[in-house]
Amino acid sequence: MTRPSFAGRVEQARRSGELIVQPRMGFSDPALMRAGLLATKAARANTVGTITLDSYTRVRDFSSAARAVAAGRPLNGYPIIAHGVPTTRAMLDGVLDAGFPVQVRHGSAEAEEVVAALVACGLDATEGGPVSYCLPYGRVPLRTAVDSWRRSCRELADRCANPHLESFGGCMMGQLCPPGLLVALTVLEALFFRQNGVRDVSMSLAQQSNTRQDLLALAALRRLATERLGPPPGWHLVVYTYMGLFPRTAAGSRAVVRDAVHLASRAGATRLIVKSAVEASRIPSAAENVQALEHAGSVVPPPAAPADGDNEVYREARSLLEATLDLHDDIGEALVAAFAAGILDVPYCVHDDNAGRARSGVAPDGTIFWSDLGSLPLRGTADVRPRHTPTSAELLDALSLVRTRYDTAATGPEEAGLSTTP
């Protein structure tokens, strides 16, 4: 089976100024997975494919995944290891080609088995990282994840001609995380990938609750990536449609996706991860994913007009990145040390290796701010707005901000009260 290059296809899009729209689709039945990929390929949009894995595979509970497959029980994603290489290669035969590569998305803190399986199946692209696939999701020690992702990078680099790795670092609990930390984390993971042999990388940022802040963050990400990785080719930016509580109304959800297209296009991103209209309540079907992709593809994007990269988000991200890299020449070791010292600290993340002293808040206009820096090296850099410890009701209100405003006035973010001033 031909091994099309995900990196090559996306670089082609970057050079031509296209925006690729991509689902997070995953079905446990190979026939449904194949049908979903073919529907994505045929969609009236500029697409690439996705295979999202199931929760058992993500946490390396391969025996439970295998029992579910044997019993015909549906899972919440595709169990690539339980199905085995022949089944997956057959599922992909006639789907993969140079214009339609497929990326595997999984969530595994320990990724070696997943990476070995996807490579054996003829694929060369995945996502994650030693921090972004570890801290939010479970109890795997950060050092264990770093060691595992080193091996995973080397597996990709040794066995694929032009592999691609996307950092999920810009989506770390994104609806409550100030963007300076997200930018620093996704660049640090990209540098980790490069140091461990994977040359083609992408860096992510999730759409948050204030468009002006999002544009500043993406401009900061582009500038910091250029400084640390050199200019493209070899990397691109990815925007995720809002990762928090999604609007319940179809009109509200479509408006969020429309504004995500505008955000990605204005910032010069190359890929947009799209969510469907039903994600407030359940996993979407293939048809619902395609509807969302076609809606995104139909939006007339504004011209790229990146904001000035020398802004407050950039200065925060640069301070965090430099303080981390100063700790060790090996970026994996630097990441472990930075979290141990609280130099990197993700608000509201309860993982044992996260200090948990930094805190953030959400202003009425959707801006995400620091309320307590903990040990973050940002004194004199970040605009800290002290606030009382939020009650559970206040925290829920903050998390529901985007849902409430888009559902209340779904004709656009300005009517909904979200700031869109560039």
The interaxial angle of helices 179-195 and 331-341, nearest 10 deg, is: 150
pLDDT at 412: 46
Pick the CATH number of 1-422 from 3.40.50.800, 3.50.50.60, 3.90.1150.10, 3.20.20.240: 3.20.20.240
Give the whole-number percent of the chain exceeding pLDDT 90: 80
What is d(CA 212, CA 419) in angstroms, rounded to the nearest whole number? 7
H or E element at residue 121: none
pLDDT at 128: 97
Environment class of 282 (CB within 10 Å of its CB; exposed 0-12, middle 13-18, buried 19+): exposed
Residue that the structure tokens 């950060």 belong to:
142
What is d(CA 45, CA 22) in angstroms, rounded to the nearest whole number? 9
- HSE, side-chain direction, 13 A CA sphere, residue 14: 20
Describe the chain by its helix, strand, coil percentages, rounded to 5: 45, 10, 40
Annotate 324-354 with DSSP letters as a single string. Answer: HHTT-SSHHHHHHHHHHHTSS--TT---TTS
What is d(CA 97, CA 40) in angstroms, rounded to the nearest whole number? 13
Phi and psi (nearest 5°) for 89? -65, -40
Q: Are 38 and 291 in contact (CB under 8 A)?
A: no
Sign of CA dihedral 79, 81, 87, 88: positive
H or E element at residue 271: strand 271-273
Of 76, 102, 77, 72, the closest CA to residue 89 belongs to 102
* Tokens of residue 87, six digits: 């089944």
Q: Give the strand pairing for 200-206 and 235-240.
A: parallel
Digit-coded pLDDT (tens) for 214-240: 999 999 999 999 999 999 999 999 999
pLDDT at 1: 45
Other beta carbons within 10 Å of 332: 22
Q: Where are the domains of the chain?
A: 1-422
Digit-coded pLDDT (tens) for 27-40: 999 999 999 999 99
Other beta carbons within 10 Å of 212: 16
pLDDT at 422: 34
pLDDT at 101: 97
The pLDDT profile of the chain, 422 residues, written as one tens digit per residue, is 446 799 999 999 999 999 999 999 999 999 999 999 999 999 999 999 999 999 999 999 999 999 999 999 999 999 999 999 999 999 999 999 999 999 999 999 999 999 999 999 999 999 999 999 999 888 999 999 999 999 999 999 999 999 999 999 999 887 789 999 999 999 999 999 999 999 999 999 999 999 999 999 999 999 999 999 999 999 999 999 998 888 988 899 999 999 999 999 999 999 999 999 887 778 899 999 999 999 999 999 888 877 788 999 999 999 999 999 999 999 999 999 999 999 999 999 999 999 999 999 899 899 999 999 999 999 999 989 987 677 778 777 777 888 988 988 664 444 443 434 33
* Tokens of residue 176, six digits: 């409550």
